[in-house]
Amino acid sequence: MTVVDGETQAAAFEVPIVDSPPEAQQVGWRHRHLLDVDALSWPDIELVMRTTDAMREVLRRPITKVPALRGRNVTILFYEASTRTRVSFEVAARNLSADVVNIAAATSSVTKGESLVDTVRTVEALGAQMLVMRHSVSGAPYLAAEIFSGSVLNGGDGWHAHPTQALLDLYTMQARFDDGSLAGRKVVILGDVLHSRVARSNIWTLTAAGADVWLCGPATLLRGFEAWAGRGAADGRRFHVTSSVDEALRDADVVMALRIQKERMAAGLLPSLREYAARYGLTRERLAAARPEALVMHPGPMNEGVEIAADVAAGAQSVIEEQVRNGVAVRMALLYLLAGTARS
């Protein structure tokens, strides 16, 4: 090989560093817990996104394990059924070399009547330093955070919040858009908004990112959101509530279908699943109203044929598997950032 001329040589030696300007690096992480995204500032969210980029790079290495959390005990305490969130947290913690303890409430002393407070004190006495928690009661992780001396990560509480899901959804969308920005993009959240902690957390991050958020579903599953949209508008956040699928999907950039949560559904909210699927299910015909390159998302687990048609879920516009993959990287980033403030 011979020396190339000055100009091309300069190009060949361009610094390939994934780097940010020095002033942006002053942003530090101050949070001890991750209970919901409403506590995060926009610079906090950007720090999570940048750290997630680094974790994605780790996941592309021949050995996807780094020693950042060596010797840390991450205890995963789930009071509700879960596959992807629990496994995703476990894989994320293991990739950072943490020691993982898994507790499923269904097979623990909780079935003997142990209270949440006693369980949290017990796992702390057993060495837990970071606690990942899912609970069917909204606000339960806030109670745990009051008594636990380490970090609490909310893996979903009742109808209230699912912060890691909202952050991985945001990351997935930003990674897919050429300019990496959601500003002015129309994002539709379609389906059982009423029972959805995913929707509640996503509203915060998506409106903070400048997206135009549309909530769509049967009126019975949108109760209360009109008022929130009004307050949000006063805040400069843009979101709309509608029961018209056509209006919502028209020229949408992202369509996120939500699972119909049968286990939380009170009688009388829906005539039948069949009727719901016919009127609000995300089918190929309905999706045609959105932009041709619109992203199809779903937080999982899916009821195929109810809120989303099987061919849409597996179609070319679907980024559902990317959501799962990015979930591991986002959770690694959050565990890493929180570990710095975990000591009490």
Partner 1 sequence: MTGRQIMTADEIRRATIRISHEIVEKQAGTARLALVGIQRRGVPLAHRIAAAIAEHEGVIVPVGALDITFYRDDLSLVAQQPVVKGTDLPFDLNGSTVVLVDDVLYTGRTIRAAMDALVDFGRPQAIRLAVLVDRGHRELPIRADHVGKNVPTSREEVVKVQLAEIDGDDGVNIERAVAAVPAAPVG
Contact residues for partner 1, defined by CB under 8 A? 1-4, 9, 12-13, 15-20, 22, 25, 27-29, 47, 50-51, 53-54, 57-58, 61-63, 65-69, 71, 96, 336-337, 339-341, 343
Q: How far is the CB of 20 from partner 1 (least distance, A)?
A: 7
Cis peptide before 301 (omega within 30 of 0): yes
Determine contact, residues 191/217, Cβ cutoff 8 Å. yes
DSSP 3: P
Q: Which is nearer to partner 1, 46 or 114 (CB)?
A: 46
Q: How far is the CB of 87 from partner 1 (least distance, A)?
A: 22
Q: Which is nearer to partner 1, 84 or 94 (CB)?
A: 94
Q: Which is nearer to partner 1, 188 or 337 (CB)?
A: 337
Q: How far is the CB of 19 from partner 1 (least distance, A)?
A: 5
Q: Which is nearer to partner 1, 71 or 113 (CB)?
A: 71
Nearest alpha carbon to residue 188 among 242, 283, 286, 254? 254
Q: How far is the CB of 160 from partner 1 (least distance, A)?
A: 27
In one letter, which amino acid is 165?
Q
Q: Encoding tokens for residue 263?
A: 């286990």
Q: How far is the CB of 69 from partner 1 (least distance, A)?
A: 8
Q: Which is nearer to partner 1, 70 or 262 (CB)?
A: 70
Question: 151 - beta bridge partners?
Answer: 130
Task: Using the structure block, give the residue that is written with the tokens 């059982």.
Answer: 192
Q: Which is nearer to partner 1, 116 or 334 (CB)?
A: 334
Residues 6+ apart with CB under 8 A from 46: 27
Phi, psi (deg, nearest 5) at residue 302: -90, 145
Q: How far is the CB of 334 from partner 1 (least distance, A)?
A: 11
Q: Encoding tokens for residue 251?
A: 């020229």
Q: How far is the CB of 250 from partner 1 (least distance, A)?
A: 39
Phi, psi (deg, nearest 5) at residue 168: -75, -30
Q: Which is nearer to partner 1, 50 or 264 (CB)?
A: 50
- Three-state SS at 101: strand
Nearest alpha carbon to residue 148 among 176, 175, 125? 125
Q: Which is nearer to partner 1, 102 or 341 (CB)?
A: 341
Determine contact, residues 190/216, Cβ cutoff 8 Å. yes
Q: How far is the CB of 75 from partner 1 (least distance, A)?
A: 18
Number of Cβ within 10 Å of residue 138's Cβ equals 14
Q: Encoding tokens for residue 324?
A: 């799962």
